Structure 1
Amino acid sequence: MICPHCERNLLRKERTGNICSHCKRAYALDPKTNTLRLNDLRVLRIATGLTDGGRIHVTPGQLWYALSRKRIRDGDFDPGCAGGAIVFAVIAALVAGFGGLTFLWYVSAVLLAIGLGNLIAHEMGVGRGIPPLPRSVFRDSALVPWTRVYGTLPPGMVDDIGDPWPRRPADAPPPNAVLVCPDPSIAAFLTADGLPERHGIAMVQGPENVRPSLLSALPPRGPVLVLHDADARGELMVEHLRAKLPGRPVVDAGLSLRTVRAQPKAVAYRDSLHKPASEEMQQLTALGKFTPEELKWLARGWRFPLVGVPPAKLLAVVDRLAEEAGRRGDAERRQAAEVGFLTWPGTPGDGSAPAGER
């Protein structure tokens, strides 16, 4: 590997304890000792690309996907190993045939079975779509060593731990729309890049946070935007909110399952621990909007995550939706003010409905 400090090409024996034997400086990640085969220079290169050259901020969840994408797509079955086993099986069979060594026939058969098994598994996609390093342990595996050496996260990165959904100050003007965003990495990403403040958006974690008190502060037709993964639960979240909020515009801001699956460069992954329950699959089937093949894909736990969308592209799309919601909200409030709607006599305490509930 290349030392990130002196740029010398280091043999394994020249980097004991993650310290370069030439410049004597420590580095964070060694491709021989971490699951994603990372090195510091690769992390820096990928992080720079995600931040669009430092123009925007990104989060650990987005970095995890970008570093895992190739391994998720290709899987961990190496067809070269299969080829080697088959070659040795043929050699063993030839030696057994010419030398009369019976036991080599058994060795040949075992090697042939291993080689063909690996080859068939690779062609069938066994292991494909399974992250070699789960997102939940990426921090301990990659970011903790990184911060131990460099003191901070990679350049341009903001953290997504804790509660990244911004709290609106008590004296803030009423929001123009609500953005439901369950993914903490995306919530931290949008907040760090100023989207909620820029467009007057109240961002919340889930449908349970879309409370009457929040809705009453919106314009009468102020929308609820839903930003979700392309998976079973994301699709159902939109439908549940529409059922919960009759008369209120609920906008599916994506990801669209059908659109994502049509993209040749989109790399989905499988999450065996979070496959949709049979009840959820029944609800999806009852919607009548998915093909049998799409339902089968969802039932197996396949998903395409928001963190997999190129950050600059995701920010541009959500920016556009939020800007449109802001324009509509301002227009509705201006119209309401012209007819005295916002100064309607009475208060919620004497039985009149607050703005936004009529």
Structure 2
Amino acid sequence: MICPHCEQSLLRKERPGNVCSKCGRTYALDPKTNPLRLSDLRIRRLVLRLTEEGKVPCVPGQLWYAASRKSLRGTKGSLGCAVMLALVGIVVGFVGLEAGLVPYRVIGGLSLLAAFGFVVARVRGVGRGRSRLSRDAFLSGPLREWRSVYGALPIGVIDESRYPFAPGAREEHRRAPGEPPSRGLVLVCPDRSIAVFLDAVGLTSRYGLTLATDPEQVSTPPGETGPRPVLVLHDADAHGLLLADLIRTALPGRWVIDIGLPLSAVDGPSRAVPMRGKRPAPHVMQALMESGRFSPRQLKWLRRGWGFPLVAVPPAKLLAVVARAVERAGAAVDPQWQRAAAAGFMTWPEESG
């Protein structure tokens, strides 16, 4: 690997205990000792790409997905192992047949059976869509090691543990002093990491937006006239795609706007790398099927636990999409907001794709 400090190439024996033998400085990550093969230099490159060289920040969840993309495409069925086991099985089995040795025949047969298992696993995609390191393990592993060496997270990554914003306050408690209740908007985002990101970049203060991470935290405050619209931001998986419908049921009469992530945005593009989690419950799939919004192929994909998380969307693109949705919703309910938006007063600076 390359030392992140002196940029010298180091053999494994030249970096004992994550210390460079050439410059004597300690580094955080060794690609030989973590499942994602991360190094300090790779983390810095990922952060630069996510933040578009410092234009926007990112959160640890977004960094985790970016670091996991290659492992999400892989499977547990290695063709190299299959070929080696097949060769061993053929050779040992042939020797056993010629010499009349039963143990050799058994070993050869088992080797061929194992090789066949690897091929089947490869074809069926066993392990595909699952990161070699979970999101929680990434926080408690590589990022914790990074913090212990450098004293803080990589520049550009928001430290959620120290961030003052705590999504989840009931919306009437989040209202700014003197703000008319009818002019505010509510955004429900179950992923706390993404909620922190949206607040950290100033979306809440810019638009007077209230964030909630749990639909049960959304209520109609006493004395509210003209209930505020509720925007819903979610993962493109079985549970996320039902979230807006559940909120509409729980808040009758409230205007609920589903701003994504839509399945159509990730179903098809080759660059979109989905993830695979637990299979949804039968009643969840039944509700999706009865909605009539998804094709049989999409329902089969969702039933197997596939989905696309919000943390997979590049930060700048996510910010631009949410900002546009908030502007449209605000303009629809507030004529004054509509005039300001038309004049460009509320346009997000340097909006990206």
TM-score by length of 1: 0.84
**Contact 1:181–1:205 (Cα < 8 Å) also in 2:** yes
Residues 176 and 325 in structure 1, CA contact (< 8 A), matched pair in contact too = no
CA distance in 2 between counterparts of 1:49 and 1:334 reads 34
Which residue, 278, 285, 288 being the options, matches 1:281? 285
Rounded Cα–Cα distance in structure 2 between residues aligned with 1:293 and 1:315: 30
Deviation at 1:52, TM superposition (A): 0.8
Q: What amino acid does structure 1 have at the position aligned with 2:286?
A: Q
Match of residue 230, structure 1, among 236, 243, 246? 236
Q: Deviations over 1:246-271 (max 9, x none)?
A: 44321111111233222222111122
Name the structure 1 match of 2:345.
none
The CA distance in 2 between the partners of 1:110 and 1:334, in whole Å, is 71
Paired residue for 1:211? 219
Partner of 1:347: none
Answer yes or no: is the 8 Å Cα contact 2:176–2:208 preserved in 1: no
Shift of 1:123: 1.3
Report the equivalent of 1:327: 331
| Other structure's SS at 1:28 match | coil
Q: Percent identity?
A: 47
The corresponding residue for 1:113 is: 113
Write the distance in 2 (CA, Å) between the matches of 1:195 and 1:204: 13
Higher RCO structure, 1 or 2 (CA under 8 Å, sep 6+): 1
Q: Is the 8 A contact 1:238 1:252 kept in 2?
A: yes
CA deviations 1:132-169 (Å, max 9, x no partner) are 11112211111110000001101101023475428444
Aligned counterparts, 1:59-70, within 5 A: 59-70=59-70
5+ unaligned residues in a row in structure 1: which ranges? 336-358
Equivalent of 2:186 in 175, 178, 185:
178
What is the RMSD of the two structures over their aligned residues, measured on CA atoms?
2.5
Q: State yes or no: 1:13 paired with 2:17.
A: no
TM alignment of 1:1-358, pairs within 5 A: 1-96=1-96, 103-161=103-161, 164-165=166-167, 167-172=174-179, 174=181, 175-213=183-221, 216=224, 220=226, 222-272=228-278, 275-331=279-335
Query: What is the CA-CA distance between 1:129 and the residue it aligns to?
Result: 1.3
State whether residues 179 and 202 of structure 1, in contact with CA within 8 Å, keep that contact through their aligned partners in structure 2: yes
SS in structure 2 at match of 1:213: coil
C-alpha contact (below 8 Å) 2:76/2:121 kept by paired residues: no
Compare CA radii of gyration and give the structure with the larger one: 1
Structure 2 distance, partners of 1:214, 1:229, is 31
Corresponding letter in the other structure for 2:36: L
Q: What displacement does 1:332 show?
A: 6.2
Aligned pair count? Answer: 331
User: Can you give the 5+ residue segments of structure 2 that lack an aligned partner in the other structure?
Assistant: 340-353
| CA distance 1:329–1:21, change in 2 (3 Å) | same
Aligned equivalent of 2:344: none
Shift of 1:334: 9.0
* 1:214–1:319 distance in 2 versus 1, CA, 3 Å: farther
Using the TM superposition, give the Cα deviation of residue 190 of structure 1 relative to its aligned residue in structure 2, in angstroms.
Answer: 1.0
